[in-house]
Chains A and B, each alone.
Chain A
């Protein structure tokens, strides 16, 4: 097939995030699996941003993203000693994260307007060193939040894995335990919704 069906699951996270994800050494994983809390904490420090961000995109609130992050790391802690290194650690991690987030999101009701505003006002949710960049990043995050809020959890999970994690259709299908046509259909519905929103915004700005 033509096109970049990249198996490297390139991420849109910051450069630091990409570097740290790639640097989870086998030895560190093994130590943490044997109960070494310092090794586990090291893993947490390196990948918690990745997990939290992925969770946040699916559940769309800070509180829920924190709960999901906790659940994910507890699951990882319980399963590390049986991690077989057959798939990459990152693949294993994002599958646990997205499925935990998805299950959590489906149990919860839609985000209230109050929660949207609280998160909008919280500048600490995005890490950018420069104040100007922080403001810009905050605006981008708010816009993303508004967009993702239009989608249901299943659509959010597919869009996030595709657009932010760069996972191909087969990867999304196996991560979520669905077939490729379902992936295609959810992406289509999600994008149609976003396009309708885009047209409404254009109309409301009188462009």
Chain B
């Protein structure tokens, strides 16, 4: 095994006991024969492993528990009223990271543009024209505009004559 490859293993898998049996044996054999790699292995232990072995446990100040307790009580009070629940639902959206906001904004913008682009031409839309005409007619019926109604009735008279009615 080359020294470069061995040192790569020494600083990662070998020191962390993640190597398979065969590779572990190969590295061990190389170390027995190579003083440079042995020194490297000792340096890994000295600088990057041993300093952590004596790490102790620390305790947080008493004020940390007080703050936790206060926040829990505040959350309980909020969850008891509808406004609090509503705010709790919306506030996370406001705290979304900027990239999400940007994506959401762009998506909304695209949707608006697409919808507007497909918006009528409705005046050329036959269905729209028919509905519009009928609504005008209904409006005239209510208004009692006899001329218009008579005009329409005349058309019907002609139609009946034509079909022999």
Contacts and interface: CB of A to CB of B under 8 A. Distances in A.
Interface string A120-159: 0000111110000000010011011001000000000001
B18 A169 contact: yes
Given A70-B64, A191-B11, A52 B53 contact: no
Contacts of B143: none
Contacts of B57: 13-14, 16-17, 49-50, 53, 126-127
A191 B63 CA distance: 35
Nearest to B46: A198
Nearest to A12: B55
B33 to A, nearest CB: 20
B16 A48 contact: no
B11 A188 contact: yes
A194 B48 contact: yes
A188 B8 contact: yes
Nearest to B72: A77
Contacts of A69: 60, 64
Residue among B17, B19, B52 with most chain A CB within 10 A: B52
B36 to A, nearest CB: 14
Given A44-B65, A70-B67, A198-B46, A128 B17 contact: no
Interface range, B side: 35 or more
Interface residues of A, number: 56
Contacts of B144: none
A140 B56 contact: yes
B61 interface: yes
Contacts of A112: none
Interface in A61-94: 65-66, 69-70, 73-74, 77-78
A3 B17 contact: yes
B60 A1 contact: no
Interface string B58-75: 111101110111011001
Contacts of B34: none
A159 B22 CA distance: 26
Contacts of A163: 48-49, 52-53, 55
B86 interface: no
Interface in A31-63: 37, 41, 44, 48-50, 52-53, 56-57
9 contacts: A13-B57, A48-B60, A65-B60, A69-B60, A77-B68, A126-B56, A126-B58, A163-B48, A163-B53
Interface of A: 1-5, 12-14, 16-17, 37, 41, 44, 48-50, 52-53, 56-57, 65-66, 69-70, 73-74, 77-78, 124-128, 137, 140-141, 143-144, 147, 159, 162-164, 168-169, 184, 187-188, 190-192, 194-195, 197-199
